[in-house]
Structure 1
Amino acid sequence: MANLLTGDLKYDYLSVDEPPVRDERIGGCTAYFGCCSGLKEDFRKGCAQALNRKFSQSGGCQLMLAMGIINTISNIVTIIHSPLGCCSNLAGMAGVRNISRASRGLKTENQTFIHTNLDELDVVNGGIEKLRRAILYADKEYQPEVIAIMNGCVPGVIGDDVDGLVRELQPKVSARLVPVHCEGFKSRFVSSGYDAANHGILKYLIREPKDTDESGTETEYESKERISKTVNIFNVGSNSHKDELELSRLIKKLGLIPRIVPLHASVYDLDRLGEAALNVSICATHDDYMLGHLKERYGTEYVLDVLPIGINCTNRWLRKIAGHFHLEKEVEELIEEETRELIKAIEPFVKVLKGKRAFVGGGETRILTTADFYRSIGMEIVGIKSHNLDRFVQYLLDEIDNPHLPVEVAAGQPAEELNLLKRLKPDIYIGHIGANGWVTKLGIPNIPLFGTTINYMGYSGAYELARRAARALKNTIFSKNISQNTELPLSDEWMQTYPKKNIVRGALF
């Protein structure tokens, strides 16, 4: 099942201190502006992977993406080894963590961050002694199960030996020490931060489990029976708790046992990641590194395919899982029942949405599956914008039957996106929160592509996607009023320039 998307990828990087960046491991495209047919051809030839920008407005940070995974681990202290500016988002991140825990009925925990606050003198002399003091202090003062060391750009440049320090101090502290190499300057792909976090978890946290469960009451037969039906559904933040409930409901209807991992996992939970019959990815961008290595270590097969968003992709996701357990009859009965009920339920919304023009922007797999759903209920997709593109969505691109569909590939770059949106004039925009303010200034109604409290996945998620889009289009006065009374901070010269002129071949120095 995995080979269709991973191809010749190998997962044997745990013998080294840090993972390869995605530029080296999987390649991919971070800059493109053109039509779908042109992108497919350039991607096949390898030309798209070599594109860059004359001018780059904004982007992401590997540190923040790695933190999004690491900070959900229970009973953890996180040390940010970098200058002070790298902690600017930490307060908000701690708040989101506890909101997420509370929504799942988990006990909230104080989120503890320690910062080594590297300065100019440390750049000259090295910051390793500051990090040593921080680790020893964190272990003594807070007594956590895990201490994660997030290595920023500056210690990566000056060569602080973080892994050597971890090997030296591990016998002297009670917590498990986890170095995470998320130096942003090493890669064009901000998603390399996911690999950095997963590398640390795989190498330093996941250990061979004990023979019994935590309570010690499960027999060997019961344990084997449970594991033979257990499906690990991997979530590192791409789905809400409502999504988890919907996907778990569907898995249970097949007679299987769903388990959501590794979000908010304890050390005990992480040690048992290998106790499953099948690992299922929600998003290949997040999960391929983890699932590939778990197969290497435990032999656990995995599904790395579409996000279960919309009717077609949810059906495909369920069939992939059922096929592993030889439940083809059961899954077809489930799909027929759920699809029949959903189509009836969304009929009023389809009447509002049919023929409307939509633009979708965000993560590569999410936008393509979301666009597929809206297209399937009669909407016209007039353009898509992806943070990046790689081999994990190449088959989804091949399934797009509109060769002239405008495609932008850009992490951030709101100036390019707004230029394109002004030309296309869609009826509605579906994209990540953060773009909605800019888009509203163009007078375009919009809904979020993802939200931590909103259901998007499975059949109930498809209902919500249709309902929210129809509601946004029933009253567009707000966005029209905003556009008539505010201005974008972009010059007329820029808005009249075709953004493709900003894309060039080769690296810029």
Structure 2
Amino acid sequence: MGSRRVNLNLPSVENREFRLGTIISWDGNAKDLVEESNYEGRSEKRGGCQSGKEGGCKLCELNMPFSQQAMCCHAIIETQAANITDCVLVEHSPIGCSARLPRINLTYKGGLSRRGKELQNIKVVSTNLQEKDMVFGAALKLKKTIRDAYERYNPKAIFVALACSTAIIGEDICSTSEEMEAEIGIPVIPLECEGFRSKHWSTGFDIAQHAVLRRIVKRNPQKQSDLINIVALWGSDYFSEILKPLGLRVNYLIDMASFDELAQASEAVATTTFCHTLGSYFGSALETEFGVPQIHAPMPYGFAGTDAWIREIAKVTGKEDIVEAYIESEHKRVLPKIKELREKLKGVKGFVATGSAYAHAIIEVIKELGVQVDGSVVFHHDPVYDSGNEHENSLKFLTDNYGDIEYFSVSKTQQFQLYGLLKRVAPDFIIIRHNGIAPLALKMGVPAMPMGDEHMAVGYDGMIRVGEALVEILSRKKFGKLLQENIKLPYTDWWLNQEDPFLIGKHPEILETCVDRFQAENNEEKGNVENGR
């Protein structure tokens, strides 16, 4: 297996589509995507778009003619840099780029509450750029904003985020940040996260992690033999419950961590994550650049994944003498309840619509519960992860241990496709992470289970938590059926009758025909109105 090396000498991380070969549109079955991804071959090369030992073609991707909605790298930076408890994010942008902050603040405070931390608001300051700033530049305004942020909050570091507008006019945030760091005496860290930079928002996670690794993580650490890094978001502290019997303390990164907790990441005995999509870059960099071993194992979901994950942690941390007894006792503890849930969920069909690796994990959990899964949609697909380690090939682990998924799609949260995706597999429920998907699913009579706490499914108890939630949701299907009978979906009958949700990507000429037809209908209607006058 080839070794892929993170390059922290670069001022900013490479986009995922260049580094990993990430795609955002595909349709087929899961086993075909595993084969086309050629994880092992791509791990031999630095560029993710290289397929096979001698290089080769990029993973085939459907070219959809438009995007109904999307999220950007800048928005993801708001969920990362703005979620460090004693740091400040300065958004060098018009105020519109800050529109999501109330929602991000709510998520942040919810996470603090779950972890038992002191509640506080996120600390974000905008340069609030105007038209004249776009014409004459805004370096002086950025300097003043950094000074104001420092005086107001006394942070341990200030992050400066680029936006689409400031990237277009060529604002040099790197030089300004360097100048202001010398003036105020704390790290001022530029983030090149303009919204149009990458075709998928997950690059934003890598941008934030790259900056933390370069500027905050200690280069000369004093090792803590019982500390383990968990690259996570806002989930409950279930990892401490799982790892405490092995004598390990958890250090969560990046969300809701303090500057010092980020700095001590290099002091840990190992790094792992709840999702390879989120944690692969951070874990690989800590391993190759700081000597902190990454846990090369499946994610901790279901029996197979959790067993392998715990065994690998025990191997890395020197706990192999106690791990088998621990695993055996956990199986005995949870198996009776899981068998009970399997009986209740017998014959139920589910659908998962979440981020990439996380979807693989959730499918494993509900398959452990006996749920049939014929379809899933992930919001992007990484053919390989940064470590290139075969044990992190989460889609292959899913298909090898739990079987194929007949309809496995990649689509960037395009709601116009969701009707067709659900129609062709007719699930009894859908599991989601992004709540905007739920209303359309419910209008089709399909209840949604939102994974608001992304750690809900982790570990052995995660199977029980998910199973109990599903039983409760399935007991309330009547509302969805009533809604389905009384709501008209905002799409034409022509589109609703299509069997292929990716039709206009495979045959874009159809869209041109539709546009011509709608224009003709509009002209005819306009003519009728004018004649009526």
- Of stretches 97-106 and 177-186 in structure 1, the one that deviates more from structure 2 is 97-106
- Specify the SS of the correspondent of 1:399: helix
1:106-160 residue CA offsets vs partner (Å, 9 max, x unmatched): 2223433221122333223222222122112212233222211111111112211
Is the Cα–Cα contact under 8 Å of residues 369 and 463 in structure 2 kept in the other structure?
no
Query: What secondary structure does 2:105 align onto?
Result: helix
5 Å matches for 1:338-353?
A: 338-353=330-345
Which residue in 2 is equivalent to 1:438? 440
**Would you say the 8 A contact 2:348–2:372 is kept in 1?**
yes
Q: Secondary structure at the match of 1:71?
A: helix
Query: Mapping of 1:236-255 within 5 angstroms?
Result: 236-237=233-234, 240-241=235-236, 244=237, 246-255=238-247
Provide the C-alpha distance between the structure 1 equivalents of 2:183 and 2:507, rounded to a whole number of angstroms.
51
Separation of aligned partners in 1, 2:247 and 2:507: 52
Which of 116, 121, 140 aligns to 1:105? It is 116
The structure-2 alpha-carbon separation of the partners of 1:377 and 1:271, relative to structure 1 and needing over 3 Å to count, comes to closer
Contact kept? 1:288, 1:304, Cα under 8 Å: no
Please give the residue correspondences for 1:62-77 in structure 2 after superposition, counting only pairs within 5 Å: 62-77=73-88
Give the aligned residue type for 1:31.
S
Matches within 5 A, 1:335-414: 335-390=327-382, 391-392=384-385, 393-396=394-397, 398-399=399-400, 402-403=403-404, 405-414=406-415
Report matched runs for 1:26-425 at 5 Å. 26-44=20-38, 46=57, 48-208=59-219, 227-237=224-234, 240-241=235-236, 244=237, 246-390=238-382, 391-392=384-385, 393-396=394-397, 398-399=399-400, 402-403=403-404, 405-425=406-426
How far the C-alpha of 1:69 sits from its partner, in A, is 1.5
Q: Secondary structure at the match of 1:435?
A: helix
Distance in 1, matches of 2:507 and 2:21, equals 15
Residues 34-83 of structure 1: CA distance to partner in whole angstroms, max 9, x if unpaired? 22344334333655354321222112221121221212212222211112
Displacement of 1:329 in angstroms is 4.5
3-state SS in 2 of match to 1:366: helix
Count of aligned positions: 480
Q: Deviations over 1:146-184 (max 9, x none)?
A: 211111111112211100111111111143212112112
Deviation track 1:254-276 (CA, whole Å, cap 9, x = no partner) reads: 23333333332222222211111
Distance 2:121 2:79 in 1: 16
From the superposition, tell whether residues 329 and 52 of structure 1 become closer, same or farther in structure 2 (CA, over 3 Å).
farther
User: How far 1:94 sits from its partner (Å)?
Assistant: 1.7
TM-score normalised by structure 1 residue count: 0.88
Looking at structure 1, the residues matched to 506 and 166 of structure 2 have their Cα atoms a distance apart, in angstroms, of 32
Matches of 1:37 and 1:500 in 2, distance apart?
19
The 3 A distance-change label for structure 1 pair 175 and 108 is farther
SS of 1:148's equivalent in the other structure is strand
**DSSP-derived class of the 1:330 partner:** helix
Structure 2: distance between partners of 1:37 and 1:251:
33
Change (3 A) 1:399 1:453: closer
Query: 1:207, CA displacement in angstroms?
Result: 3.4
1:221-267: per-residue Cα shift (whole Å, max 9, x none)?
xxx6xx22322222233xx12xx2x3212212123333333332222
Identity of aligned residues (%): 26
C-alpha distance in 1 between matches for 2:178 and 2:506: 44
Q: How far off is 1:505 after superposition?
A: 11
* Paired position in structure 2 for 1:215: none
Distance 1:61 1:289 in 2: 18
Cα distance between partner residues in 2 of 1:495 and 1:8: 47
Cα contact 1:52–1:504 (8 A) shared by 2: yes
SS in 1 for 2:196: helix
> After superposition, what is the alpha-carbon deviation per residue over 1:93-112, rounded to whole angstroms, capped at 9, x for unaligned?
12322232233222223433
What residue identity is the alignment partner of 2:116? G
Residue 504 of structure 1: how far off its partner (Å): 4.8
3-state SS of paired residue (2:225):
helix
The residue aligned with 2:6 is 11
C-alpha distance in structure 1 between counterparts of 2:193 and 2:109, whole Å: 24
Aligned-CA RMSD value: 2.3
1:465 aligns to 2:466 (yes or no): yes
SS in 1 for 2:22: coil
Equivalence for 1:25: 19
State TM-score, norm by structure 2. Answer: 0.84
**Residue type of the alignment partner of 2:131:** E
2:218–2:266: 8 Å Cα contact kept in structure 1? no
Alpha-carbon distance in 1 for matches of 2:317, 2:124: 43
Greater length-normalized contact order (CA 8 Å, ≥ 6 residues apart)? 1
